[in-house]
Amino acid sequence: MEEARGFIGLIFWLLITGACSSSFQFLNNCTYPVWVGTLSGAGSPSLAQTGFELQPGQSTSLAAPPAWSGRFWARTNCSTNPVTGKYSCTTADCSTGKVSCDGSGATPPATLIEITLGTNGGKDFYDISLVDGFNVPASMAPMGGKGDCKVTSCPTDVNEVCPEELRVAEGDGTGVVACKSACEAFGDPRYCCTGTYGGPNTCKPTNYSKVFKGACPLAYSYAYDDATSTFTCAGASYVVTFCP
Protein backbone atom coordinates (compact mmCIF):
# COMPACT_ATOMS: atom_id res chain seq x y z
CA MET A 1 0.00 0.00 0.00
CA GLU A 2 2.81 2.43 0.90
CA GLU A 3 4.49 1.59 -2.42
CA ALA A 4 1.30 2.37 -4.33
CA ARG A 5 0.82 5.67 -2.52
CA GLY A 6 4.43 6.63 -3.27
CA PHE A 7 3.97 5.90 -6.97
CA ILE A 8 0.68 7.81 -7.16
CA GLY A 9 2.32 10.75 -5.40
CA LEU A 10 5.18 10.65 -7.89
CA ILE A 11 2.80 10.78 -10.88
CA PHE A 12 0.79 13.64 -9.31
CA TRP A 13 3.97 15.61 -8.64
CA LEU A 14 5.15 15.19 -12.23
CA LEU A 15 1.79 16.44 -13.52
CA ILE A 16 1.70 19.58 -11.38
CA THR A 17 5.37 20.55 -11.75
CA GLY A 18 5.65 19.96 -15.49
CA ALA A 19 9.12 20.96 -16.65
CA CYS A 20 10.06 23.00 -13.60
CA SER A 21 13.79 22.40 -13.24
CA SER A 22 13.83 23.59 -9.64
CA SER A 23 11.93 20.66 -8.13
CA PHE A 24 13.22 17.29 -6.95
CA GLN A 25 11.18 14.21 -6.17
CA PHE A 26 12.75 11.60 -3.87
CA LEU A 27 11.49 8.04 -4.05
CA ASN A 28 12.60 5.15 -1.83
CA ASN A 29 12.36 1.95 -3.84
CA CYS A 30 14.51 0.04 -1.34
CA THR A 31 13.11 -2.71 0.87
CA TYR A 32 14.40 -0.81 3.89
CA PRO A 33 14.01 2.79 5.12
CA VAL A 34 16.53 5.46 4.16
CA TRP A 35 17.19 8.86 5.67
CA VAL A 36 17.93 11.34 2.91
CA GLY A 37 20.54 14.04 3.39
CA THR A 38 20.75 17.26 1.37
CA LEU A 39 23.70 19.64 1.21
CA SER A 40 23.80 22.92 -0.71
CA GLY A 41 26.94 24.00 -2.52
CA ALA A 42 28.83 27.22 -1.76
CA GLY A 43 26.62 30.23 -2.43
CA SER A 44 23.40 28.20 -2.60
CA PRO A 45 20.76 28.42 0.13
CA SER A 46 19.74 25.37 2.13
CA LEU A 47 16.66 23.54 0.94
CA ALA A 48 13.52 23.41 3.07
CA GLN A 49 14.69 20.09 4.51
CA THR A 50 18.29 19.00 4.99
CA GLY A 51 17.35 15.55 6.24
CA PHE A 52 14.24 13.38 6.24
CA GLU A 53 13.12 9.77 6.46
CA LEU A 54 11.61 7.74 3.63
CA GLN A 55 10.05 4.38 4.35
CA PRO A 56 9.95 1.80 1.53
CA GLY A 57 7.65 3.07 -1.23
CA GLN A 58 7.44 6.59 0.18
CA SER A 59 8.26 9.76 -1.74
CA THR A 60 8.51 13.47 -1.09
CA SER A 61 9.55 16.57 -3.00
CA LEU A 62 11.69 19.66 -2.46
CA ALA A 63 11.96 22.90 -4.41
CA ALA A 64 15.22 24.64 -5.25
CA PRO A 65 15.86 28.12 -6.69
CA PRO A 66 17.48 28.67 -10.13
CA ALA A 67 21.25 28.09 -10.22
CA TRP A 68 21.06 25.99 -7.05
CA SER A 69 23.81 23.43 -6.65
CA GLY A 70 24.23 20.65 -4.16
CA ARG A 71 24.10 16.96 -3.45
CA PHE A 72 21.80 14.29 -2.05
CA TRP A 73 22.47 10.92 -0.45
CA ALA A 74 20.78 8.17 1.54
CA ARG A 75 21.72 7.24 5.08
CA THR A 76 20.97 3.75 6.41
CA ASN A 77 20.34 2.07 9.75
CA CYS A 78 19.61 5.33 11.57
CA SER A 79 18.36 5.47 15.14
CA THR A 80 18.39 7.53 18.33
CA ASN A 81 20.42 6.27 21.25
CA PRO A 82 17.96 5.84 24.15
CA VAL A 83 20.58 6.83 26.70
CA THR A 84 22.30 9.82 25.08
CA GLY A 85 19.44 10.90 22.81
CA LYS A 86 21.93 11.21 19.97
CA TYR A 87 20.81 10.29 16.48
CA SER A 88 23.28 8.47 14.21
CA CYS A 89 23.41 6.28 11.10
CA THR A 90 25.53 3.26 10.20
CA THR A 91 26.32 4.60 6.71
CA ALA A 92 26.63 8.13 5.27
CA ASP A 93 25.96 9.82 8.62
CA CYS A 94 26.15 13.62 8.59
CA SER A 95 27.20 13.65 12.27
CA THR A 96 24.80 16.33 13.51
CA GLY A 97 23.19 14.05 16.08
CA LYS A 98 19.75 14.56 14.51
CA VAL A 99 17.78 13.79 11.36
CA SER A 100 18.56 17.15 9.72
CA CYS A 101 22.08 17.56 8.33
CA ASP A 102 22.11 21.36 8.71
CA GLY A 103 25.00 22.04 6.34
CA SER A 104 27.03 18.92 7.08
CA GLY A 105 27.91 16.41 4.38
CA ALA A 106 27.91 12.64 4.28
CA THR A 107 30.60 10.67 6.07
CA PRO A 108 32.16 8.36 3.45
CA PRO A 109 31.47 5.86 2.09
CA ALA A 110 28.37 7.33 0.46
CA THR A 111 26.71 7.25 -2.95
CA LEU A 112 26.31 10.92 -3.93
CA ILE A 113 23.79 12.45 -6.34
CA GLU A 114 25.13 15.84 -7.48
CA ILE A 115 23.51 18.60 -9.53
CA THR A 116 24.01 22.22 -10.57
CA LEU A 117 20.91 23.91 -11.97
CA GLY A 118 21.17 26.34 -14.86
CA THR A 119 19.59 29.77 -15.20
CA ASN A 120 17.39 31.30 -17.91
CA GLY A 121 16.98 28.02 -19.75
CA GLY A 122 20.63 27.10 -19.41
CA LYS A 123 21.88 23.58 -18.90
CA ASP A 124 21.74 21.65 -15.65
CA PHE A 125 24.72 19.39 -14.93
CA TYR A 126 24.19 16.24 -12.87
CA ASP A 127 25.93 13.02 -11.94
CA ILE A 128 26.11 10.11 -9.55
CA SER A 129 29.46 9.89 -7.81
CA LEU A 130 31.18 6.90 -6.20
CA VAL A 131 34.35 8.91 -5.64
CA ASP A 132 33.54 8.85 -1.90
CA GLY A 133 32.58 5.17 -2.03
CA PHE A 134 29.20 3.45 -2.18
CA ASN A 135 26.40 2.65 0.23
CA VAL A 136 23.03 2.60 -1.61
CA PRO A 137 22.05 2.15 -5.30
CA ALA A 138 20.61 5.36 -6.75
CA SER A 139 19.47 7.06 -9.93
CA MET A 140 18.58 10.55 -11.15
CA ALA A 141 16.03 10.90 -13.96
CA PRO A 142 15.19 14.19 -15.68
CA MET A 143 11.53 14.61 -16.66
CA GLY A 144 10.20 16.97 -19.32
CA GLY A 145 13.46 18.75 -20.11
CA LYS A 146 15.20 19.70 -23.34
CA GLY A 147 18.50 18.38 -24.62
CA ASP A 148 20.19 15.04 -24.08
CA CYS A 149 18.44 14.51 -20.72
CA LYS A 150 19.57 10.96 -20.00
CA VAL A 151 18.95 9.02 -16.82
CA THR A 152 22.09 8.44 -14.80
CA SER A 153 22.08 5.49 -12.50
CA CYS A 154 24.05 3.19 -10.24
CA PRO A 155 21.48 0.40 -9.87
CA THR A 156 23.96 -2.30 -8.84
CA ASP A 157 24.65 -3.18 -5.22
CA VAL A 158 28.39 -2.51 -5.33
CA ASN A 159 28.71 -4.01 -1.84
CA GLU A 160 28.34 -7.44 -3.44
CA VAL A 161 31.50 -6.97 -5.54
CA CYS A 162 33.45 -4.77 -3.12
CA PRO A 163 37.08 -5.90 -2.60
CA GLU A 164 37.59 -7.25 0.90
CA GLU A 165 40.01 -4.47 1.87
CA LEU A 166 37.38 -1.80 1.03
CA ARG A 167 34.43 -3.39 2.80
CA VAL A 168 32.56 -1.77 5.70
CA ALA A 169 30.88 -4.49 7.74
CA GLU A 170 27.79 -4.52 9.94
CA GLY A 171 28.47 -3.90 13.60
CA ASP A 172 28.37 -7.65 14.23
CA GLY A 173 30.54 -8.34 11.18
CA THR A 174 27.86 -10.43 9.46
CA GLY A 175 27.40 -8.39 6.28
CA VAL A 176 28.74 -5.58 4.09
CA VAL A 177 26.90 -2.25 4.44
CA ALA A 178 29.18 -0.01 2.36
CA CYS A 179 32.25 -0.01 0.12
CA LYS A 180 35.05 2.48 0.73
CA SER A 181 36.91 4.28 -2.00
CA ALA A 182 40.57 3.33 -2.32
CA CYS A 183 41.43 6.92 -1.40
CA GLU A 184 39.62 6.64 1.93
CA ALA A 185 40.97 3.17 2.62
CA PHE A 186 44.65 3.83 1.85
CA GLY A 187 45.15 7.62 1.55
CA ASP A 188 47.50 7.09 -1.40
CA PRO A 189 47.75 10.16 -3.71
CA ARG A 190 47.36 7.98 -6.82
CA TYR A 191 43.93 6.90 -5.56
CA CYS A 192 43.01 10.37 -4.26
CA CYS A 193 44.17 12.31 -7.36
CA THR A 194 46.29 14.59 -5.19
CA GLY A 195 49.91 15.73 -5.19
CA THR A 196 51.71 14.63 -8.35
CA TYR A 197 48.51 12.81 -9.34
CA GLY A 198 46.41 15.98 -9.06
CA GLY A 199 45.33 16.30 -12.70
CA PRO A 200 43.58 14.40 -15.50
CA ASN A 201 46.88 13.62 -17.22
CA THR A 202 48.41 11.98 -14.16
CA CYS A 203 45.40 10.55 -12.31
CA LYS A 204 44.15 7.53 -14.21
CA PRO A 205 41.75 4.63 -13.47
CA THR A 206 43.08 2.07 -11.01
CA ASN A 207 42.15 -1.53 -10.34
CA TYR A 208 39.91 -0.29 -7.53
CA SER A 209 38.13 2.42 -9.51
CA LYS A 210 37.56 -0.13 -12.27
CA VAL A 211 35.55 -2.26 -9.83
CA PHE A 212 33.17 0.68 -9.28
CA LYS A 213 33.06 1.51 -13.00
CA GLY A 214 32.38 -2.08 -13.95
CA ALA A 215 29.44 -2.23 -11.55
CA CYS A 216 28.06 1.23 -12.43
CA PRO A 217 29.32 2.43 -15.85
CA LEU A 218 27.40 5.73 -15.70
CA ALA A 219 28.73 6.83 -12.30
CA TYR A 220 31.95 8.65 -11.41
CA SER A 221 34.49 6.05 -10.29
CA TYR A 222 37.36 8.50 -9.67
CA ALA A 223 37.85 12.26 -9.78
CA TYR A 224 38.54 12.65 -13.51
CA ASP A 225 35.90 10.26 -14.82
CA ASP A 226 33.99 13.12 -16.50
CA ALA A 227 33.64 11.82 -20.06
CA THR A 228 31.17 9.04 -19.24
CA SER A 229 29.71 10.34 -16.00
CA THR A 230 28.47 13.95 -16.38
CA PHE A 231 25.02 14.55 -17.88
CA THR A 232 23.11 17.65 -18.97
CA CYS A 233 19.51 18.73 -19.44
CA ALA A 234 17.58 22.01 -19.47
CA GLY A 235 14.23 22.88 -17.89
CA ALA A 236 13.60 19.47 -16.35
CA SER A 237 12.12 18.12 -13.15
CA TYR A 238 14.29 15.48 -11.45
CA VAL A 239 13.36 12.22 -9.80
CA VAL A 240 15.94 10.78 -7.40
CA THR A 241 15.33 7.11 -6.72
CA PHE A 242 17.08 5.00 -4.13
CA CYS A 243 17.36 1.33 -5.18
CA PRO A 244 16.08 2.00 -8.74
Q: Whole-number mean pLDDT of the chain?
A: 90
Torsion-angle region of residue 42: left (phi > 0), alpha (psi -120 to 50) or beta?
Answer: beta
In the three-class reduction of DSSP (H, G, I as helix; E, B as strand; rest coil), residue 46 is classed as coil
The predicted model scores a pTM of 0.90
Region 142-150 average pLDDT: 92
| Cα 132–Cα 40–Cα 237 angle in degrees, nearest 5 | 95
Query: In the chain, what are the domain boundaries?
Result: 2-158+222-242
Tell me: the pLDDT tens digits for 165-206?
A: 999 998 656 689 999 999 999 999 999 999 999 999 999 999
Q: What is the third-level CATH fold of 2-158+222-242?
A: Thaumatin (2.60.110)
CA pair distance 181, 55, nearest whole angstrom: 28
Tell me: the pLDDT tens digits for 151-163?
A: 999 999 999 999 9
